[in-house]
Amino acid sequence: MNANSKAILVIGGGISGMTAALEIAELGHHVILVEKEPFLGGRVIRTHRYFPKMCPPACGFEINTRRLRNNPRISVHTMATVESITGRVGQFTARILTRPRYVTGKPSLDDSAIQDLRAERPNDMNFGMDTTRAVYMPHDMAYPHVHVLDRAALSEEDAATLARLAPPGAIDLNMTEEDIEVEVAAVIVATGWRPYDPANLGHLGYGRCPNVVTNVMMERLAAAGGPTKGAILRPSDGQPPRSVAFVQCAGSRDEKHLPYCSAVCCMASLKQARYVREQCPEAKVTIYYIDIRAVGRHEKFYFDMLGDDHVSFVKGKVAKVSEEPGTGNLVLDVEDTLAGSRLHETFDLVVLASGIVPYDAYGFIDGTTGVPGIYAAGCVKRPCDVSRATKDSTAAALKAVQCLNQGE
């Protein structure tokens, strides 16, 4: 290792970005890891369980955060964005803008300092299904484990409460944005994905019908840190559902929305069907699909669900979801393509398998990005599961390391 070599910049602190950063640092090189949210973990840390092993993401995340804490070669910037990159391979200059957290972390806050706050804000972690106070911990395993203050949500009354109860130096309302420039040899873009906006799917009831949720919302309903503390309940009345419909390809494989397959939605719905069956043993589950795409070893997961008498599979496109007056129940109009008939089925809860959308405004980016020394990794390239994302990130890390001696 050349001790004087430049660092490598990793943009995005989800599973792909964390993996790339750790692989590079453990090879002996310096890394600057930039994440726009107040915590690392991205979409994966918002899930309840991984498929196919059905273990919680906290297991792998805890290992990665321990590796991060123990490696001084990684510099982590949260609540930060990369505003520009100039230069060439081996000699890039990146401008990083960091937003103020308003919480110093020294000394730390505890519940006694924030429990008397009154103003509330939508909880981003739970997709707005519940609220937090203006000062909040993003989630129990947040890294860095430091509270965040939402200045826009902080009332004058709450500011006075904090001044009275918070330890001296814990809150700094005078924090400002920090703008820095760094010299790096290579860049890995691992900005991940966002869910397709279900507001575009009005015919499927989202926004009109309270008991229509998306697959990412379903993950939070099942998670212990979710809005219902892990209980799968109907949003309209807080009751356990007796029947649940999963609507596949909600926006995916549709020229009007996303023309591609989002790759992981089928497995996610099969996994979530298990959540329902575990919590509500008598509940009936129906999965409406175009094709079930469970590749390789995931096929066993699918066949296990086929053997469940409480789970039905209907090959057909859901044309419309409407609400039954007075009950909050949902009526699905479906064309059963195998039977050649039209169905009108009623359910307590509907879950839309909304697709994966890249953050790049022009679509998924090629692995080489077209610029020598700048590489893409994970879902910014294509929809993929955690296993494929980590392998792809390791490959990107090795490519980036090869740039360290260029331009010197």
Contact 348, 212 (CB under 8 A): no
Our CA angle for 270, 62, 273, nearest 5°, is 10
Instruction: Count CA atoms closer than 13 A to 34's CA, side-chain side.
Output: 27
Question: Which pLDDT tens digit goes with each residue over 302-351?
Answer: 998 999 999 999 999 999 999 999 999 999 999 888 887 888 999 999 99
Tokens of 373: 């020394």
Q: How far is CA 396 from the centre of its chain?
A: 21
The greatest distance separating any two alpha carbons of the chain, rounded to the nearest whole angstrom, comes to 71
Q: How far is CA 180 from CA 26, 43, 51, 77, 184, in A?
A: 25, 27, 40, 11, 13
**Torsional class of 161: left (φ above 0), alpha (ψ -120 to 50), beta (otherwise):** alpha
Tokens of 82: 């990369």
Helix axes 265-279, 215-222, angle to 10 degrees: 40
The mean pLDDT value for 343-364 works out to 83
SS3 (DSSP) at 77: strand
- pLDDT above 80: residue 370: no
Place of tokens 């707005």: 128
Write down the mean pLDDT value for the chain.
92
Output the six-digit token pair for 202: 């009005």
pLDDT at 229: 96
Domain spanning 7-99+177-192+359-401, CATH class = alpha beta
Q: Which string of DSSP letters, residue by residue, matches 203-225?
A: GGTTTT-TTEEEHHHHHHHHSTT
Q: Which residues contact 1 (CB under 8 A, 6 or more apart)?
A: 27, 28, 29
∠ Cα 387 124 34 (to 5°): 55
Amino acid identity of residue 269, one-letter, is S
pTM across the whole model: 0.93
Confidence of residue 375 (pLDDT cuts 50, 70, 90): very high
Residue 358: pLDDT band with limits 50, 70, 90: confident
DSSP characters over 1-47? --TTPPEEEEE--SHHHHHHHHHHHHTT--EEEE-SSSSS-TTGGG-
pLDDT in tens, 81-140: 999 999 999 999 999 999 999 999 998 888 888 999 999 999 999 999 999 999 999 999
CA torsion angle for 281, 283, 289, 291 (degrees, to 10)? 20
Give the span between the Cα atoms of 124 and 168, in whole angstroms: 28
Contact 26, 362 (CB under 8 A): no
Q: Is the pLDDT of residue 23 over 80?
A: yes
CATH topology classification for 197-356: FAD/NAD(P)-binding domain (3.50.50)
| Residue 279: CB atoms within 10 Å | 16
Among residues 358, 71, 21, the alpha carbon closest in space to that of 188 is found at 21
| pLDDT recorded at residue 88 | 94
Return the pLDDT at 1: 45
Does the fold of domain 197-356 match that of domain 7-99+177-192+359-401?
yes
pLDDT tens, position by position, 130-160: 999 999 999 999 999 999 999 999 999 999 9
User: What are 86's strand-pairing partners?
Assistant: 93
Helices (H), 181-263: 215-222
pLDDT(250) > 50:
yes
Calpha distance 4→177 (Å, rounded):
29
Mean pLDDT across the stretch 359-374? 65
What are the domain boundaries of the chain?
A: 7-99+177-192+359-401, 111-165, 197-356
DSSP 8-class letter at 378: G
The identity of residue 100, as a single letter, is P
d(CA 143, CA 162): 23
Query: Under DSSP, is residue 318 helix (H, G, I), strand (E, B) or coil?
Result: strand
DSSP state letter for 379: G
Query: How many residues does this entry show for the chain?
Result: 408
Read off the tokens for 180: 């820095």
**Amino acid (1-letter code) at residue 97:** L
